[in-house]
Amino acid sequence: MPSLINLIEEDRQQQGGEKRSETAGRWQQDSMQKMLTIISNVLRGSASRNAASMVVSSRSYADFTPEATFDIKKVDLHRLEEGPPLTATLTREEGLKYYRTMQTIRRMELKADQLYKQKIIRGFCHLYDGQEACAVGIEGGITLSDHLITAYRAHGYTLTRGGTVREIMAELTGRRGGIAKGKGGSMHMYTKNFYGGNGIVGAQVPLGAGVALACKYLGNDQLCVSLYGDGAANQGQIFETYNMSSLWKLPIIFICENNQYGMGTSVERSSASTEYYKRGDYIPGLRVDGMDVLCVREATKFAADHCRSGKGPILMELQTYRYHGHSMSDPGVSYRTREEIQEVRSKSDPISMLKDRMLSNNMASIEELKEIDIAVRKEIEDAAQFATTDPEPPLDDLCSHIFATDQPFDVRGATPWTKLTSTS
Amino acid sequence: MGFMVICSLYINKISILLSSHFCILTSRMSLFQVNVRDALNHAMDEELERDERVFLLGEEVAQYDGAYKVSRGLWKKYGDKRIIDTPITEVKTNTLAGVQSQHNISLSQYFELACRHLSSCAVTMVTRANQKPFFCISPQTVVFLENELMYGVPFELSEEVMHKDFVVPIGKAKVERQGTHISLVSHSRCVGFCLDAAAVLAKEGVECEVVNLRTIRPLDVETIEASVIKTGHLVTVEGGWPQYGVGAEICARIMEGPAFNYLDAPAVRVTGVDIPMPYAKILEDHSVPQIKDIIFSVKKVLNM
């Protein structure tokens, strides 16, 4: 054992003198480093934990590439001369952050699936797994002082917009520790500058324009991201919103998350034109690979610049995929094949894509990512534990929080003799 | 040129079941256990078979078998022409159906109202019944609202009801339970609660008459008045909000009509709590009328 560690130390000293390119493309794997990985894996497998962690810690973070640039897919443009750049730079910190957030969303949704099947979560539950790159990428292109509104597939956004897993899961189970005090449920979660969570298909888009109008009115250089799906894209109110926001040059980014299916209806069966990025007509549009977090981020940055420079709205179509059915009552295989789902999972999974990129460019080690996985798993377990043991809201809270700020007032109960009080 | 009736025959049969329990006929009749979803399905099937001009149009009604599986099997049986999937466009669907019927008198249509936009907001469903009612007697358009919580609930149907020509008129309420002391007037899911409350109260010697409205508009005021004149007391029960609700309308009509003179006590409404519907189970249970609320109100009205 000691001799192996000496070997590793020696190797490190040898490599210390090597120059590392900041903007290298494909990182050339040094054979020594390959051996290092193999050794640490073997040690981990057969030896004690101490030995394995000693190997890991002997590889200090200075060994990792701090930053790398990746080629990303070209974006289709509508009424735009130029689009987002064809390359994206990712720092190690960003990479780890995106990885952790996407993994957290993934695990959280799978946990929600589990709890739903145990009937601990009831009612509507629309899961986001498969689409993580959209939520994380968008957040990477805007700031928390910008605004965002989406439809009912909102758990991922609640997290990226500042919610904690504990609050989200407790809201799903309808407990007092939930992000909406247990009164909202899956489709009504809110945080600062995040307006939910909306049940009526497409109705959130005009609301988003309203938020954008407020941004323009207050002159605070903020913008609003208004999301909707391929099913909602045919709603009339969305076209009304296109018109008004274009006319008034509102700082709004319309984002169509095209996951190919509106509930059970494929895009071909619901839409005369499936080029959703062009549906804004006079509004410039981008069609982006929604499974690649870097693609989404660069496109969002581009769109945000467009809005902030006062040019008015812009439309982004994110081509993405959901692994689950529309909601928990939909197995998701009556209108698409399992093979299709499997294929997307194996070829385009957003988390795998990021992981491969980071590993093959030596931006992180497998162990490090595994540690993140373990930490995420623990966080989800703790949250689920909290969500199942936290008590339900108290009955005194039945009528509370109807208005934002108001004097307490009487609320009629189920009978004329039942007088309840609402407090804010 | 009015709209054509929307499968009024089928609707009437279903409205018996939807409204809740109905009298189990005597032992000579054989009984079938059918849940609301299947009853709706059978009725639609019968209407589609009976008349070529009947078609089903809505979100996820065809290949998906219906958002709540109410139209299961119909697309397989009748095909693309009769069972049509639409994009998600509520206003358009209604307008399209309306326009067609205006131009062609002979075209019957059916609105699949249990489609996503209504079913995704159960509170609004009740509210819409209160605020935008346009049930009309044939040959008018009929809006048929289904309580999604009732889909899986089974009821017993007699052979007579199962027969495909069995119909019930729109605009007629039904007295589900005869009584002498007080009238409970209700619709949809709450009728079941009224019957349960009546069973409990019967043990204390109070006989409640339970009236199932079945149709919100036109309101069968005659049946309600006859019941109130007989019992002298009235409690309306509904799941919706009190303000501007079905119960409010009933009370106003009773006051304006002859039955007022027969009331021995003010009429009272049992309603949902006047708040946005909360999510947590315990809060949800307490925001809709419960059997104990009905019993409490009856006793208060009867001064017990």
DSSP letters along A313-354, please?
A: -EEEEEE---SS-SSTT--S-SSS-HHHHHHHHHHH-HHHHH
B contact residues 36-65, partner A, Cβ 8 Å cutoff: 59-60, 63-65
**Closest alpha carbon to A227 in A316, A298, A325:** A316
Say yes or no: A288 and A407 in one domain.
no
Q: What's the CA gap between B118 and A199, in Å, rounded?
A: 10
> What are the φ and ψ backbone dihedral angles of A172, each rounded to 5 degrees?
-65, -35
Say yes or no: A411 and A334 in one domain.
no
Interface residue of A258, A274, A392, A415 to substitute, partner B, most B CBs within 10 Å = A415
Flag whether A46 is in a domain: no
E strand intervals along A160-269: 224-229, 252-258, 261-262, 265-266
Say yes or no: A402 and A347 in one domain.
no
Q: What's the CA gap between B37 and B155, in Å, rounded?
A: 11
High-pLDDT (> 70) share of chain B, %: 73
- What pLDDT is recorded for position B147? 84
Flag whether A34 is in a domain: no
CB contact under 8 A, A415 and B296: yes
* Residue B277, pLDDT above cutoff 60: yes
Neighbours of A409 (CB within 10 A): 13
Q: What's the CA gap between A291 and B32, in Å, rounded?
A: 52
Contact between A254 and A242 (Cβ < 8 Å): yes
Flag whether A35 is in a domain: no
Q: Are strands B174-177 and B268-270 parallel, antiparallel or unpaired?
A: unpaired
**Containing structural domain, residue A215:** 70-393
- What pLDDT is recorded for position B5? 24
Contact between B151 and B14 (Cβ < 8 Å): no
Say yes or no: A316 and A409 in one domain.
no
Say yes or no: A373 and A413 in one domain.
no
Give B15 or B89, the one with higher predicted confidence: B89
Mean pLDDT lowest among A215-224, A304-313, B32-41, B202-211: B32-41
CATH assignment of the domain containing A323: 3.40.50.970
Give B287 or B24, the one with higher predicted confidence: B287
Indicate the number of domains in chain A. 2
Neighbours of A323 (CB within 10 A): 20
Flag whether A317 is in a domain: yes
Q: Map residue B210 onto helix, strand or coil.
A: strand
Residue that has been written with the tokens 């009867």 in this structure:
B302
- What pLDDT is recorded for position A8? 45
Sites in chain A below the pLDDT cut of 50 = 1-5, 7-8, 16-29, 43, 45-58
Cα B125 to Cα A207, A369, B117: the distances in Å are 22, 48, 9
Say yes or no: A280 and A412 in one domain.
no
pLDDT, mean of residues B169-197 = 94
B26 to chain A, closest Cα gap in Å = 36
* Residue B283, pLDDT above cutoff 90: yes
Say yes or no: A276 and A400 in one domain.
no
Residue of A nearest to B243 (CA): A412
Say yes or no: A347 and A419 in one domain.
no
Establish if B300 touches chain A: CB-CB under 8 angstroms: yes
pLDDT, mean of residues B175-183 = 97
Give B50 or A16, the one with higher predicted confidence: B50
Say yes or no: A83 and A180 in one domain.
yes
- What pLDDT is recorded for position A33? 55
Flag whether A268 is in a domain: yes
Interface residue of A238, A410, A412 to substitute, partner B, most B CBs within 10 Å = A412
B99 — pLDDT class (breaks 50, 70, 90): very low
Contact between A58 and A13 (Cβ < 8 Å): no
B contact residues 134-153, partner A, Cβ 8 Å cutoff: none
Neighbours of B210 (CB within 10 A): 27
Tell me the chain A residues in contact with residue B282 when contact means C-beta distances shorter than 8 Å: 392-393, 395
B242: nearest CB among A201, A265, A412: A412
Neighbours of A118 (CB within 10 A): 9
Contact between A192 and A144 (Cβ < 8 Å): yes
* Residue B95, pLDDT above cutoff 60: no
A414: nearest CB among B89, B91, B293: B293
Residue of A nearest to B281 (CA): A174
Flag whether A64 is in a domain: no
- What pLDDT is recorded for position B96? 55
Say yes or no: A389 and A400 in one domain.
no
pLDDT tens for each residue of B235-263: 999 999 999 999 999 999 999 999 999 99
B110 — pLDDT class (breaks 50, 70, 90): very low
- The mean predicted confidence, pLDDT, of chain B is 76
Per-residue tokens: B271: 């309603």
Flag whether A20 is in a domain: no
DSSP state of A180: T
**Closest alpha carbon to A55 in A365, A265, A341, A323:** A365
Say yes or no: A297 and A325 in one domain.
yes
Q: How many pairs of residues across A and B have Cβ atoms under 8 Å apart? A: 124
Say yes or no: A358 and A411 in one domain.
no
* Residue B58, pLDDT above cutoff 80: yes
Domains of chain B by start residue, with CATH:
31-162 (3.40.50.970), 174-302 (3.40.50.920)
Flag whether A55 is in a domain: no
CB contact under 8 A, A411 and B297: no
Give A21 or B226, the one with higher predicted confidence: B226
pLDDT tens for each residue of A321-348: 999 999 999 999 999 999 999 999 999 9
